[in-house]
A and B are shown apart, each in its own frame.
Chain A
Amino acid sequence: MSLETPLHKVEGLGASHSGVTHFWRQRVSAAALVPLGLWFAVSVLGLVGAHEAATLSFLSQPVNAILMAAFVVILLYHMALGLQVVIDDYIHSSGQKVFLMLLMRGFAIAVGATCLFALLRIAGPL
């Protein structure tokens, strides 16, 4: 016997009210970060000891600028999804939870916007 209402059952969203959305987004972003993370490691290793001019010229190449922007955005998205679970697990007061969620997402957006601005400044004007 199920205690679910028929509407709740067909919605398929469960107790989280969002179904598998969070789970799926965390996995897809993780899978994307495997090749992007390897590219980032290879790039940073290649830039060891590089002067400003060499670093600028590397990051201003379109492919590198695009990959770095994708790495930053997907990394921060994955970070926000992960930190959301940590906050959900350890913070039980709903006021604190809402506050920390807003703070955490504000942090992700601030870091992301800063990185993208820096990348635009490095790569532009086109």
Chain B
Amino acid sequence: MAEPPHAAHRQRPLSPFVTIYHWPVTMATSITHRVTGVGLAAGAVLLAWWLVATASGPSNFNQFIALASTPLGQVILFGFTWALAYHLLNGIRHIAWDLGYGFGKATARNMSVLVIVGSIALAVGFFALAYTGTGGYYQ
């Protein structure tokens, strides 16, 4: 005798998951805020590493700078620079929302694009200043 299907095994209608939707830019900027936030938590370790290396004598400091100056180090630092710029700009959007501004459809879309473009511009600009010798004014 066939057993009646158990409730847990019955085919149930599923609610649509994120993968099924067309991705508007606002969805991308929303999840990127969280991803950059989690990524920046790892960046906090780098900040601690820099401070500890600075506090631990010239050889440790120079070793940190040497590692940070390698191509991989520069790529990682660029990643954290962009993540910080993104989280900062999009965080300002969050504060604007909390004050009741920026919920219009067009505004939300335009601000999303602005945050993406602006964060890349800030990160590239930061590295451009560093590489063209505009930085280093505290030497």
Count residues of B near A (Cβ-Cβ below 8 Å). Answer: 34
Total A-B contacts with CB atoms under 8 angstroms apart: 99
Q: Flag A11-54 by CB within 8 Å of B: 1 or 0 each.
A: 00000000000000001001101100110010101111111101
Q: How far is the CB of B90 from chain A (nearest CB, A)?
A: 11
Instruction: With CB as the reference atom, state the residue of chain A lying closest to B57.
Output: A52
A98 CB contacts on chain B under 8 angstroms = none
Given contacts A37-B88, A119-B51, A52 and B126 within 8 Å (CB-CB): no
Q: Flag A90-121 by CB within 8 Å of B: 1 or 0 each.
A: 00000000000000000100010011011101
Q: Is the CB of A46 within 8 A of B137?
A: yes
Give which listed residue, B37, B58, B138, contacts A58 with CB less than 8 A: B138
Q: Flag A63-105 by CB within 8 Å of B: 1 or 0 each.
A: 0000010001001100100110010000000000000000000
Q: Is the CB of B48 within 8 A of A45?
A: no
Q: Is the CB of A122 within 8 A of B54?
A: yes
A34 CB contacts on chain B under 8 angstroms = 88, 91-92
Q: Is the CB of B84 within 8 A of A37?
A: yes
Interface of chain A: mostly helix, strand, loop or mixed? helix
A56 CB contacts on chain B under 8 angstroms = 54
A38 and B87 alpha carbons, distance in the complex (Å)? 12
Given contacts A37-B84, A46-B135, A58-B138, A52 and B40 within 8 Å (CB-CB): no
A83 CB contacts on chain B under 8 angstroms = 37-38, 41
